[in-house]
Amino acid sequence: MKTLTALLILIVLVALGAGAYYVYSSRQAASPPAPQTSTPTEPTVRPLTAKDTGVQQIKSAHFEDASPGHNEVFAAAPINVTVNFNFDLADNSSITVEKDGVDYGSGATTIDPNKRTMRRNLKASPDGIFIVKYTACWPDRTCHDGQHAFTIDSSQLGKYSDVTGRAEVEVEMESTAFTIPYLVISKGTKVTWHNHDPVTHYVNGDTHPFHTFLLALNSEALTEDAEFSYTFTEPGEYPYHCSAHAAQMTGRIVVK
């Protein structure tokens, strides 16, 4: 009798367990599938923007920033060097751009009309580390020296989009990005930036927020569907950005 009772209890327990498993399985089947997480795609390979030159940066009094900036990398020689200050400069200020004891600056150092920026053009320059040495002088003729360094690495050109030979090139501004941010073009090419976003963008030469690298390469506010064009006539590299989204919208154009 005890054996029969134990057997009946075992049968009941098995039946209860099977029912519970059925209810659990049904609930699992009725539940929506867990959301799938996608693996982030690799970002587009960008040219180097920084490389330790081993050169100490020395900031003179009233220094703000410069283009090229300290430890910045260019794929070709920038067309000029600009150094920005928060104090009026005197005309005895000067810039040299040295590599292996040779000054690759071209022509005289000039002071912009705003009196806060001094600049000097560059010659065609080889790969390597260049030291920008400047003497910033104030209206009372007192002067202060500073320096920083940048690198030219032509191997970076392989990461740029080569559209040489075209008379005109269009760069879309879409999803808060320049669709072709790194370009190699021919001398005389007209580049047009076209804003497809519902937010306002700009085209501004470096640096931010001074935009002094090339004064002509500065657009007005570009609302949706607005355009800005510039024809590049001087060989060299041009860094630019959107000043409304300077942290993420950057670009470079190399003119051959």
- CATH code where residue 225 lies: 2.60.40.420
Is the pTM above the cut of 0.95? no
Q: Is residue 11 part of a domain?
A: no
Quick check: 4 pLDDT over 80? no
Q: Does 248 or 20 have the greater pLDDT score? A: 248
CB 148 within 8 A of CB 72: no
What's the number of domains the chain is made of? 2
Which of 94, 120, 155 finishes a domain? 155
Find the domain containing 192 and state its range: 160-255
Q: Residue 136: CB partners within 8 Å, gap ≥ 6? A: 60, 61, 62, 63, 83, 85, 89, 93, 118, 143, 144, 145, 146
Residue 129 shares a structural domain with residue 206: no
Q: What's the token pair of residue 50?
A: 């920084």
Which of 155, 188, 218 finishes a domain? 155
Distance CA 31, CA 27 (A): 6
Tens-place pLDDT, residues 46-76: 677 899 999 999 999 999 999 999 999 999 9
Q: Is residue 214 part of a domain?
A: yes
pLDDT for position 49: 80
Which of 155, 184, 214 finishes a domain? 155
Q: Is residue 12 part of a domain?
A: no
- Is beta strand 182-185 parallel, antiparallel or unpaired with respect to 250-255? parallel
% residues pLDDT > 90 (the chain): 80
Residue 178 shares a structural domain with residue 107: no
Quick check: 196 pLDDT over 80? yes
pLDDT for position 48: 78
Stretch 212-241: mean pLDDT: 98
Distance CA 41, CA 176 (A): 18
Report the CATH number at residue 78.
2.60.40.1220
- Is beta strand 63-67 parallel, antiparallel or unpaired with respect to 80-85? antiparallel
pLDDT for position 169: 98
Q: Nearest-5° angle of CA 95, CA 98, CA 102?
A: 120
pLDDT for position 44: 44
Stretch 182-195: mean pLDDT: 98
Residue 181 shares a structural domain with residue 131: no
Residue 150 shares a structural domain with residue 233: no
